[in-house]
Copies of this chain bind each other. A is one copy, B any other.
Amino acid sequence: MQPEPAEPASAPVTAPAQPPSRPTLADVAAHAGVSASTASLAFSGSGPVSDATKQRVFDAAAALGYGGPDPRARSLRRGRSGIVGVVLEERVRTAFLDPVKIQMLDGIAEGIAPLSAGLLLLTDSGGAGGAGEHAVSIESAPVDAVVLVGCSPRLAESVEVLRRRGIPAVAIEGAADDGVPEISIDNLPATRRGAEYLRELGHTRVAIVTLPVDAARTRGPLTPELERDCAVGVTSERLAGARTVFPEAPAQVAGASSIEEGRDAALALLADPSARPTAIIAQSDLLAAGVILAAEELGIAVPAELSVVGFDGIRVDGLQHDLTTLVQPSVAKGRAAGEAVVSLLAGEQPDSVCFTSTLHVGDTTAAPPR
């Protein structure tokens, strides 16, 4: 059967090429000899349509090259776009260097699976995907809900914008404002547990490598001022946990959660052989891997001469040690956030969730050298 143009064949040959707009459901319906609503039902599959009719509609669609209902019109009509936004506090490049973030993203995808929704990347700097400033932002993204990942100084703003727009949100490790459920973990007690383990092993000279304390990614020794002004919840909570056990421990601030930053911080902490710590608490596994790297470079044996504790429980690509660390359920966090989104969209009011981390004892911790 020949594809039949939607317009009458008698159109003047000299007519300007009519805008080759995509055929619409109405065109398909006309071609199939049914009404638009019937065609709609045939596509959504939910309505009572005879198989014969359905087939006619599909044939017509094929003949016309109809690519299915326009998602834009569909979402206007339904009031939902089928898209969930993920707001990162940094540009894509930076965020996805962190395995924990990737795991959370993966968990989110898993959690929202029942929604059949897509995942739209946004950043809280107003741009999308980490690029320009003009980009689609949380101010105007066609999202049904949003997951805010990581506690950012700008979190409050983002929450405000979303409330104005009436878009439900969930925050992972963010300050829970009003109606925004928060998915978090037991940062303080978990770190305390790791510190206690070191104390039980006999360590007294312990140092800390912290995650960033501000948006400027200040590096260097942790001064009382920095500690007081620390704008990053995770950092200060984990720090407080360590301080509970080792109140006087010197700390070095890393500029990011990376092996390189961990190495640099550790080199600073291990510089003075006379005042060398026997254990280092790193606030992330990547930092811990960097600490181990630094130790190897300095000829310090891990764990014989230096114990190292991490945080996260990720597999660090290339690291040959089984890191002693606080295993947090990153994927589960993401999944919980996703499930909270599902719940919110169902009109419920999900509770905040706080997960528990568990101490995994690997081969990077031992009694201090005598």
Contact = CB atoms under 8 A, between A and B. Distances in A.
Interface of A: 22, 65, 67-73, 75-76, 79, 81-83, 91-93, 96-97, 99, 102-103, 105-106, 108-114, 116-122, 127-132, 134-136, 139-142, 161, 164-166, 258-260, 263, 286, 289-290, 293, 297, 317-320
22 contacts: A22-B165, A67-B164, A68-B140, A72-B142, A76-B76, A82-B136, A91-B106, A91-B109, A92-B106, A97-B102, A106-B131, A109-B135, A110-B130, A113-B135, A116-B135, A118-B135, A119-B121, A120-B120, A259-B317, A263-B318, A293-B320, A297-B320
Contact of A103 (B93, B111, B116, B260): B93
Given A164-B67, A260-B317, A142 B75 contact: yes
Contact of A136 (B69, B116, B128, B290): B116
A144 to B, nearest CB: 10
Given A75-B142, A136-B118, A109 B96 contact: no
Given A120-B119, A166-B22, A114 B130 contact: no
Contacts of A122: 118
Nearest to A106: B93
Contacts of A289: 318
B132 A105 contact: no
Nearest to A316: B318
Contacts of A297: 320
Contact of A129 (B103, B105, B165, B317): B105
Contacts of A290: 318
Contacts of A69: 140
Interface core residue of A96, A258, A318 (most chain B CB under 10 Å): A318
B121 A67 contact: no
B68 A76 contact: no
Contact of A83 (B111, B120, B263): B120
A355 B108 CA distance: 35
Given A81-B142, A91-B106, 6 more contacts: A96-B96, A109-B130, A113-B127, A118-B141, A142-B142, A260-B318
A109 B131 contact: yes
Nearest to A66: B164
A266 to B, nearest CB: 12
A135 B127 CA distance: 25
A319 B293 CA distance: 9
Nearest to A136: B118
A258 to B, nearest CB: 6
B72 A76 contact: yes
A132 B118 contact: no
A132 B120 contact: no
A274 to B, nearest CB: 26
A118 B121 contact: yes
Given A65-B164, A71-B140, A259-B318, A118 B117 contact: no
A96 B100 CA distance: 11
A71 B118 contact: no
A113 B140 contact: no
A165 B68 contact: yes
A82 B134 CA distance: 11
Given A96-B96, A118-B120, A132 B113 contact: yes
A139 B114 CA distance: 17
A290 B297 CA distance: 18
